[in-house]
Amino acid sequence: MDDKIVFFDIDGTLVNERKEIPESTKESIVQLKKNGVHVAIATGRGPFMFEPIRKELAIDSFVSFNGSYVVFQDEVIHKTPLSAEFIHKIEEEAKTAGHPLVYLDHQKATCNADDHEVIRNCTYNLMPNYPMYHPGFYEDNEVYQVLLFCQEDQEKGYRDSYKGTFDFIRWHEDALDILPTGGSKAKGIEAFMEKMNIKQENVFAFGDALNDIEMLTAAGTGIAMGNGLKEAKEAADYVTRSVDEDGIYYGLKHFGLI
């Protein structure tokens, strides 16, 4: 039998609004593994930010940073760090404008502003602690994502200056993600397919949000959560129930994976 793999987004897919993993989801993932199906997480977060979820579900394969850092069975199979030269340039512009930055590698978050109120307000739900103060972290470490803290009417200059170099994705009224241009969860899935020599038709993906759309279309079968955005549902091949209505279980059952 050919290998199969299922990718799961985290927020709104594996976990609900209360940051809980439904029991039916936990049981479904155990059954998937018993059935010989590979299981992976696909998220925009850094690995250190979802480590408790990986441990709880015993998952050792993942696409993180929206495709910039990809791991298969604890082995790094693809990574796309941001250019230190360009981070330095954008840092100089941000300093002049009074906009702080947070730098993310696969193990931790650091920042160039100590105890900054905006950083604290934006990241308290994402990270257990305030990022470590370490200006110039990117000079000696690979950085896969930068958080830029500015409001929407202040971002145009950055977008214009770095078009084709970085992608800017706003996730908070005061914060943007800075990622390598063209990165996506779909890129991470491609790395898995190449590593595992797996057919597209045997790739399944569950998601609910805008950054899941490319993954849902790249997979052989894209499955949108019932609580997902309209755009995600339109991109998917199938819409299952919501995360709190055992959506993972019903989606996997529908396709005979469990």
- Give catalytic residue positions: 9
d(CA 5, CA 41): 11
93 closest CA partner among 167, 159, 152, 142: 159
146 closest CA partner among 96, 94, 101: 101
166-172 β-sheet, strand order? 132-133, 109-111, 101-104, 145-148, 175-180, 166-172
Measured from the Cβ of residue 129, the count of other Cβ atoms closer than 10 Å reads: 9
d(CA 12, CA 17): 7
137 closest CA partner among 178, 92, 102: 102
Give, for 24, the enclosing helix (H) or strand (E): helix 23-34
> Quick one: DSSP state of residue 122?
H
205 closest CA partner among 216, 189, 194, 214: 216
Measured from the Cβ of residue 75, the count of other Cβ atoms closer than 10 Å reads: 10
